[in-house]
Amino acid sequence: MADQSETIKTAPLDVPVSSALPIAILSVLAAMGTLATNILLPSLPQIAISLNVTSAAVTSAITVYLAVFGLGQLVVGPLSDRYGRRWPVLIGFAVFIGGSVWCGLANDLPNLLAGRVVQAAGACATSVLSRAIARDMFSGAALARALALIMIVMSAAPGFSPLLGGALDHSFGWRSEFALVAAFAAVGAIAYGIVLGETHHSNRTPLNPVAIVRTYAGLIGDRRFVIPAATASLIIGGLFSMFSAAPRLFIEAMHFTPIQLGLFFAGTVFIVFAAGMLATKLAPRYGLDGPIRAGLWATTASSVAILLISMTSPTFLPFLGAMCLFLLGMGVVSPLATARALSPFGEKAGAASALLGFWQMMTAAIGVWLAATVSHEAMFALGVVLSAFSLLALGLYAWGLRSPAPH
């Protein structure tokens, strides 16, 4: 792992100005999946009332979405390695728009869940291929920088979207949120179709079940991929656990309004922005391993702090401080670990990105489920999930660094 780190460390860092628009469009692709979930967060209690179900039951709209979102990427990745990126992305946009309309018209929970399945099936294509396209266009430190910039922009959408969702819920009802994400996807599809052409010009991977299984098995058996990918997935899983627990914690336990919850999420954007900019500065100077380890220590310390706060004095300000530290560490770990996982696999970028996305979303789904079921005390449940995921990520990455490099 050390040799690769040095290669990335000494690669040119700056992304050309001409790449700004493609990176912005890739950010839209990457953000669409989380936008469709986070914009709903302030409305979960109201959706539960509207559909005559409990708040815990309506949380399944997030869990189901994340599970399909993750599984679908395993299919889309190999398809894009065989047939290219352009048409899978455009089809994904169309499916997402159809699912959003379905959700907006749902009058019971089963119909909402069915629409979320369709919505996730479309979103998984745009999300997984945003990383694959970035890998097609950049390499080394330029890839790390591009992924960090994409993360900054994509964090703005799910960060500010709860505030927007709260305002829409207050003014027009929760169904208007699905109309907005459908319109966002339509604009993204048009921009992608006009600006970005086919980016996958390397050898096409044959599309057959045996080849797909071999590709995924090869990635799982390669520590260059599996250690940073699993590390990033655990931290992202913790982030989604925080997102899903926030309505219970702030609206039901602390009696925040949906708008106030939206303001909290909007504030997280600036922390992630600062962390992403920090990551772009640290990578060329220190390589990837040092900043990743520092970020993991930050997420672990903050997670344990949240757990202790929940058991002693579960008040807002101490929780906010610990949560800010977690977000700072996450914002450093996520893009740098992703860059480390994808960098060695140019011809398999679609499959590697798909497997990474699958692990991230399935870990997120597990985290969301655990945060809703471990305890009826939302902060304690969140502290347990964050601590478990962060400690596991820290231990896994430390073990990977001590292990001998593959021959």
- Residue 25: CATH number of its domain: 1.20.1250.20
Q: At residue 406, does pLDDT exceed 70?
A: no
Q: Which two tokens stand for residue 309?
A: 């706060």
Q: Is 131 part of a structural domain of the chain?
A: yes
Q: Which two tokens stand for residue 394?
A: 């820290």
Considering its fold, how many domains does the chain have in total?
1
Q: Is 316 part of a structural domain of the chain?
A: yes
3-state class (DSSP) for residue 205:
coil
d(CA 354, CA 77): 5
Residue 140 zone, left/alpha/beta (φ > 0; ψ -120 to 50; rest)? left
Q: Is 4 part of a structural domain of the chain?
A: no
CB atoms within 10 A of CB 181: 26
Rounded alpha-carbon distances, angstroms, from residue 137 to 92, 140, 192, 261: 21, 11, 15, 37
Helix axes 60-83, 109-137, angle to 10 degrees: 40
Q: According to the per-residue pLDDT averaged within each range, which of 28-32, 51-55, 324-328 is highest?
A: 324-328
d(CA 243, CA 77): 26
Q: Which two tokens stand for residue 315?
A: 């008040």
Q: Is 5 part of a structural domain of the chain?
A: no
d(CA 189, CA 111): 26
Q: Is 55 part of a structural domain of the chain?
A: yes
Q: What is the largest CA-CA distance in the chain?
A: 60
Condensed to tens digits (0 to 9), the pLDDT of residues 199-214 reads 766 666 666 778 778 8
Burial 260-281 (b: 16+ CB within 10 A, else e): ebbebbbbbbebbbbbbebbbe
- pLDDT for 378: 85
Q: Which residue has the tokens 């772009």?
A: 280
Local confidence band at 176 (pLDDT 50, 70, 90 cut-offs): very high
- pLDDT for 154: 66
For residues 175-194, give the mean pLDDT: 91
Rounded alpha-carbon distances, angstroms, from residue 202 to 69, 133, 136, 197, 205: 27, 12, 9, 14, 9
Condensed to tens digits (0 to 9), the pLDDT of residues 209-230 reads 787 788 888 888 888 899 999 9
Local confidence band at 401 (pLDDT 50, 70, 90 cut-offs): low
Helix axes 349-373, 223-246, angle to 10 degrees: 40
- pLDDT for 115: 94
Contacts of 395 (CB under 8 A, 6+ apart): none
Local confidence band at 180 (pLDDT 50, 70, 90 cut-offs): very high
CB atoms within 10 A of CB 176: 15
Number of continuous H segments (helices) and E segments (strands) in the chain: 16, 0
Q: At residue 14, does pLDDT exceed 50?
A: no
Local confidence band at 12 (pLDDT 50, 70, 90 cut-offs): very low
Q: At residue 305, does pLDDT exceed 90?
A: yes
> How far, rounded to the nearest angstrom, does the alpha carbon of residue 209 sit from its chain's CA centroid?
27
Q: At residue 7, does pLDDT exceed 60?
A: no
d(CA 242, CA 249): 10
Q: According to the per-residue pLDDT averaged within each range, which of 151-160, 192-201, 321-330 is highest?
A: 321-330
d(CA 356, CA 344): 14
Q: Is 54 part of a structural domain of the chain?
A: yes
Q: Which amino acid is at 124?
A: C
Q: Is 407 part of a structural domain of the chain?
A: no
For residues 73-79, give the mean pLDDT: 79
Condensed to tens digits (0 to 9), the pLDDT of residues 106-120 reads 999 999 999 999 999
Quick one: the chain helix, strand, coil %, rounded to 5? Answer: 85, 0, 15
| Domain span including residue 79 | 14-199+206-402
When mean pLDDT is compared across 11-15, 53-57, 121-125, the lowest value belongs to 11-15
d(CA 357, CA 138): 19
Q: Positive or negative CA dihedral for 206, 207, 213, 218? A: positive
Contacts of 175 (CB under 8 A, 6+ apart): 104, 105
Local confidence band at 274 (pLDDT 50, 70, 90 cut-offs): confident
Q: Is 296 part of a structural domain of the chain?
A: yes
Count Cα atoms within 13 angstroms, Cβ side, for 98: 11
d(CA 101, CA 150): 27
Q: Which residue has the tokens 């702090």?
A: 305
d(CA 106, CA 301): 42
Q: At residue 400, does pLDDT exceed 60?
A: yes
Rounded alpha-carbon distances, angstroms, from residue 37 to 44, 181, 240: 10, 10, 10
- pLDDT for 133: 83
